[in-house]
Structure 1
Amino acid sequence: MSPPAPKKDVDWSALGVALDLPVNGHIETRFHLSTGKWTEPTLVANPNISVNGLCPGLNYGQQCYEGLKAFRTPSDTITIFRPKFHAARMAHSAASVSLPEPSEELFLECLRMAVAHNAEYVPPSGSEACLYIRPVLFGASARLALAPPEEVILAIYVQPSFPYHGSASIDAVVLEDFDRAAPRGMGRYKVGGNYAPVWRHAAKARAMGYGITLHLDSSSRSLIEEFSTSGFMGHKVVNGKDVLVVPETQNAIDSTTSDSMVRMAEREGWMVEKGEVPFSTISSLDEVVAVGTAAAAVPIRSISRLSTSEKYSFSTLENGIPRLVALSRLMAAIQRGEEEDTDGWCWEVTGFPQEKSSTAFRGFSGQGSVIGNTISTFQSTVIGSIQSALHLLRGSNPT
């Protein structure tokens, strides 16, 4: 059975990143240290979670999170983009802060439930919007001692949204008075402590006219690591051949978007350079984009380093369709079901609430729980599809 149609009373072209649409609810499952088991995932209508004020999630930063997207395809299915990649990344982050790692099976089932019960909030085909999915995992019961708590909550929220930075080109500035991550520190994990400290610096940069900040390594301050909200990708042409430049560092998270674009570039016959990217070589790049799940691929118009008065400019949409932007549009077409998904990245959501015979959950091996039937009936809907200029990828190189 097809998923429910998108809600008719939503202006899908006017979405931002504000949480201004009350959806049907979120999914919760709880882990108890005493039993070593997760509870059955359930749909909770109230977006608020009641926790003890002395929980380590609030006091000690024992939390991690993820971000991924669901789309409606032209064939009227709803798919989630690369959920297994995100399951592995959340497990990686969870281990870093002494949280129990949700199994891939449990994580996928929670995602499926969250999207299925909110299907009518998946934007329509042709919309640039998506259903953004935010899993968050945190220590929830009181614990003053520096040790894992009895209860941990995994909650999966959803919200229709547009790309975080929009699609217009923005200027970037190197952040020189703050180090995001220390060597062998927490930079490679998706935990909240990597983001909140940057906000005041980002606000200062915005006041100066810069839309995003760029981090160099904290040891030598000479190597590019990532943007504050996104990964870094560059493009250059060597002997008439496209070359994709991607920093390889232990101080930044593995980016789903970056990994996907690298694989697509290789299929298109591009060379891929992954390794240290000295800031001193940035002038060799003709294009730079900031990539991430929430941000998608944002063209960078320029990068400035104020302490040295350096400023480097790059090709943007104002100069036509650059190669990395075209590559990101190919990825968007795959996400939205408009281009063949040769890698099996798009995971179809099934078991919508009206399909009562399809909503039985499987038991989770190793999790110690058997999942019963899903809860009540909610009208659902979904969307997703966008036109793309794929021929640009096969066109001539920029000069």
Structure 2
Amino acid sequence: MALAALSRQLGAALQPQRPTDRLQQRAGASRPATPCRRQARRLLCSAQLAAEQSSKLDIDWDSLGFGLQHVGATMFMASCSAADGKWSAGELQPYGPLPMYPSAQALNYGQAVFEGMKAQRSAKDRIVLFRPEANAERMAEGAARLSMCPPPKELFLEAVCKTVEANSDFVPPQGKGSLYLRPLLLGSGPILGLGPAPSYTLVVYCASVGSYFKGGQLTPIDLIVETRFHRSAPGGMGGTKCAGNYSPVLVTQLAAKKEGYSDVVYLDAKTDTYLEEVSSCNIFVVKGKTIRTPPLQGTILPGVTRRSIIELARSRGYTVEEVPVSVDEAMQADEIFTTGTAVVVSPVGSLTYQGERRQFGEPGQPGPVALELYDQLTGLQQEKLADPFGWVHPVC
């Protein structure tokens, strides 16, 4: 196991010096560089604790929430110097704090993009990922927008797969949840004046998770349309999965939750007329056999689940249109649902706009289209159904 190997490696670094080593030092002979003994001791302790955590894993799979209560014991880390743009091979190490200067670019100027992915146990008794290449491509696009060194697709996929393999015990039983993966690209190098970081770090960590919303999967959520703040504007960063896009929505999201809503829907910044997206997921509006969703014009995130639902719905005979959707049209829809890696497909039970509340379907029951597409998507992701698209990526 990776943890055992790391423990052996760090243990060797802590062995007392041999007499010949001390003699060489006195004579001024050079010795191979080794990690700081204090840091080595700390990492060794982390490795031992992580190994113990993994061996004593005791998770109630039926009560999983969406959080870090059951974080994976191992993470992957690689680095890159902006001077030559070359990435290190990377390695697995115990999950823990990142060494970083207060002057790190990411902490001062926000050079940081991330991804969200899931690994699941499938009906074929193996662990699989869903369209990881699309996540690698989106991270590279986000890195380009923020002038960062993107990790090569091969390194991204290797990092994700190795993290899954090392934390396979944290993957829930089939149908009980998933192992949520968070690839994170940081401008970790120190800098004072505004500019790109001199170096970058790729980290992949994970955690066992269940449903994103507290009500559970497929429990309809209540949304309110935000009329004061905007999530993004044309020409901005709304289409990039960068860290800075998310904290600004908390002020409206938290206020909405205090009023009993699950989340907030934002409108376009130009006219306050058209739906954009929910705080952390895309939105779809259904009328008959037609499904509409806001177009990708740089203001909303190009979700991997969004893209998959569009292709899946079209293959099942629906007309799917990527066009502006007015809030008035949404209030008259037959059904609304949201999509995202974390939420998968989440039916909307009600939409409230300027004090008017519209209920969709029977209270507490998902709409038929959302249910159909959820069953098809998760059936494909868990290899219960055939995968004609080639989206499923086996890991182990």
Q: Counterpart of 2:246 in structure 1: which amino acid?
A: Y
Find the aligned partners of 1:243 and 1:32 in 2 and give their Cα distance.
49
In the TM superposition, residue 283 of structure 1 has moved relative to its aligned partner by 3.3
Decide which structure has greater helix share. Answer: 2
Show CA shifts across 1:288-346 (max 9, x none): 1121001111111111112xx33222125734652122211210111111011111111
Work out whether 1:235 is the aligned partner of 2:286. yes
Answer whether contact 2:95 2:205 (CA < 8 A) is retained. no
Work out whether 1:322 is the aligned partner of 2:373. no
Q: Counterpart of 2:293 in structure 1: which amino acid?
A: V
Correspondence for 1:298 among 346, 349, 365: 346
Find the aligned partners of 1:6 and 1:338 in 2 and give their Cα distance.
30
% same residue: 32
Q: Which runs of 5+ in 1 are unaligned?
A: 351-399
- Which residue of 1 is the match for residue 240 of structure 2? 189
- Which 10-residue stretch deviates more, 139-148 or 16-25? 16-25
Find the aligned partners of 1:320 and 1:253 in 2 and give their Cα distance.
24
Show CA shifts across 1:45-98 (max 9, x none): 042101010111011111000001111112211111110111111111111111
Work out whether 1:226 is the aligned partner of 2:277. yes
Correspondence for 1:53 among 86, 97, 102: 102
Structure 1 segment 142-157 matched on structure 2, within 5 A: 142-157=190-205
- Which residue of 1 is the match for residue 93 of structure 2? 44
- Which residue of 2 is the match for residue 106 of structure 1? 155
Correspondence for 1:245 among 282, 292, 302: 292
Cα gap change, 1:317/1:155 in structure 2, threshold over 3 Å: closer, same or farther? farther
Correspondence for 1:88 among 129, 132, 137: 137
Cα gap change, 1:142/1:8 in structure 2, threshold over 3 Å: closer, same or farther? closer
Show CA shifts across 1:98-139 (max 9, x none): 111112111111111110111111111231x10000001011
Cα gap change, 1:319/1:140 in structure 2, threshold over 3 Å: closer, same or farther? closer
Q: Counterpart of 1:221 in structure 2: which amino acid?
A: D
- Which residue of 1 is the match for residue 332 of structure 2? 284
Structure 1 segment 236-385 matched on structure 2, within 5 A: 236-237=287-288, 242-250=289-297, 251-306=299-354, 309-315=355-361, 318-319=364-365, 322-350=368-396
Show CA shifts across 1:259-284 (max 9, x none): 11111111111111211111121233
- Which residue of 1 is the match for residue 173 of structure 2? 124
Correspondence for 2:211 among 163, 168, 189: 163
* Counterpart secondary structure, 1:44: strand
Cα gap change, 1:221/1:6 in structure 2, threshold over 3 Å: closer, same or farther? farther
Answer whether contact 1:173 1:213 (CA < 8 A) is retained. yes
Answer whether contact 2:72 2:205 (CA < 8 A) is retained. no
Correspondence for 2:123 among 64, 74, 88: 74
Larger radius of gyration: 2
Answer whether contact 2:349 2:366 (CA < 8 A) is retained. no
Find the aligned partners of 1:7 and 1:69 in 2 and give their Cα distance.
23
In the TM superposition, residue 18 of structure 1 has moved relative to its aligned partner by 2.2
Find the aligned partners of 2:336 and 2:81 in 1 and give their Cα distance.
45
Answer whether contact 2:335 2:367 (CA < 8 A) is retained. no
Answer whether contact 1:6 1:119 (CA < 8 A) is retained. no
Work out whether 1:139 is the aligned partner of 2:190. no
* Counterpart secondary structure, 2:364: helix
Answer whether contact 2:136 2:156 (CA < 8 A) is retained. yes
Cα gap change, 1:345/1:176 in structure 2, threshold over 3 Å: closer, same or farther? same
Q: Counterpart of 1:118 in structure 2: which amino acid?
A: N
- Which residue of 2 is the match for residue 198 of structure 1? 249
Q: CA RMSD in A?
A: 1.7
Cα gap change, 1:6/1:295 in structure 2, threshold over 3 Å: closer, same or farther? farther
In the TM superposition, residue 170 of structure 1 has moved relative to its aligned partner by 1.5
In the TM superposition, residue 247 of structure 1 has moved relative to its aligned partner by 1.1
Find the aligned partners of 1:200 and 1:103 in 2 and give their Cα distance.
36
In the TM superposition, residue 180 of structure 1 has moved relative to its aligned partner by 0.8
Query: If the length of structure 1 is used for normalisation, what is the TM-score?
Result: 0.82
In the TM superposition, residue 190 of structure 1 has moved relative to its aligned partner by 0.3
Show CA shifts across 1:175-208 (max 9, x none): 1121110111000000111110111211111111
Q: Counterpart of 1:162 in structure 2: which amino acid?
A: G
- Which residue of 1 is the match for residue 112 of structure 2? 63
Number of equivalences: 339
Structure 1 segment 210-225 matched on structure 2, within 5 A: 210-225=261-276
Find the aligned partners of 1:342 and 1:46 in 2 and give their Cα distance.
36
Q: Counterpart of 2:191 in structure 1: which amino acid?
A: R
* Counterpart secondary structure, 1:291: strand
- Which residue of 2 is the match for residue 380 of structure 1? none
Query: If the length of structure 2 is used for normalisation, what is the TM-score?
Result: 0.82
- Which residue of 1 is the match for residue 230 of structure 2? 179
Find the aligned partners of 2:121 and 2:220 in 1 and give their Cα distance.
27
Answer whether contact 1:72 1:125 (CA < 8 A) is retained. yes
Find the aligned partners of 2:366 and 2:340 in 1 and give their Cα distance.
22
* Counterpart secondary structure, 2:99: coil
Answer whether contact 1:72 1:336 (CA < 8 A) is retained. yes
Cα gap change, 1:71/1:285 in structure 2, threshold over 3 Å: closer, same or farther? same
Q: Which runs of 5+ in 2 are unaligned?
A: 1-53
